Amino acid sequence: MPADRWDAPAPCEGWVARDVVAHMVEWMPSLLDPAGVAMPPGPSAADDPAGAWHHIADWLQSLLDDPEVAGTSFDRPPLGEMTVAQAIDTVMLGDVVVHTWDIARATGLDESLDPDLVHEMYVGMLPMDEMLRTSGHYGPKVDVPDDADEQTKLIAFTGRRP
């Protein structure tokens, strides 16, 4: 991707594409702090957003590849008790799916998301609607036609304009 696209406005109010990457690479490791795992230093999202993303993706994969670490259980209020693998599979993956769309929208890249991941995330989020809204992580749902595809419904559910 051309370097100038990292500074394109993202759908997240007040953010550019590089800010979306910074959010993910700074927030995700902190989620796992109670599990006693720490990400080794790597590139900063401000200087090298793609490098920062590859660094955290490689680190997360290394956690999943180690059965002992992946199975480490920890408590993360308000989410509750979970293993490292569960945190990556549920909480982090959901963030990656939506923010992949944010970055694609900001930079003019293909916005198509994996339909299976979209379905899993959308169906999983519907019962948590009230909790997600009150958390402040999502804005109000955006209205879309009933016959909209599931990706459009997911993006609208998270308060973004598809």
Q: What is the pLDDT of residues 105-131, one digit of tens each?
A: 999 999 999 999 999 999 988 888 888
In a domain, 113, yes or no: yes
Total domains in the chain come to 1
Sign of the dihedral through C-alpha 59, 62, 66, 67: positive
Region 39-45 average pLDDT: 95
3-state secondary structure of 10: coil
In a domain, 22, yes or no: yes
In a domain, 28, yes or no: yes
pLDDT of residue 95: 86
In a domain, 43, yes or no: yes
CATH number at residue 15: 1.20.120
Nearest C-alpha neighbor of 49 from the set 93, 27, 16, 97: 16
Q: What share of the chain is helix, strand, coil (3-state, %, to 5)?
A: 60, 5, 35
φ, ψ at 57 (rounded to 5°): -60, -45
Q: For residues 53 and 42, is the Cβ–Cβ distance under 8 A?
A: no
In a domain, 76, yes or no: yes
Select the more confidently predicted residue: 35 or 131.
Answer: 35
The fraction of the chain above a pLDDT of 70, given in percent, is 100
Separation of first and last alpha carbons in the chain: 22
The Cα–Cα gap between 143 and 159 comes to 9
In a domain, 118, yes or no: yes
Determine the structural domain holding residue 71 and report its residue range: 3-157
In a domain, 98, yes or no: yes
The Cα–Cα gap between 88 and 81 comes to 13
In a domain, 162, yes or no: no
78 pLDDT exceeds 90? no
Q: What is the model's pTM?
A: 0.88
pLDDT of residue 119: 96
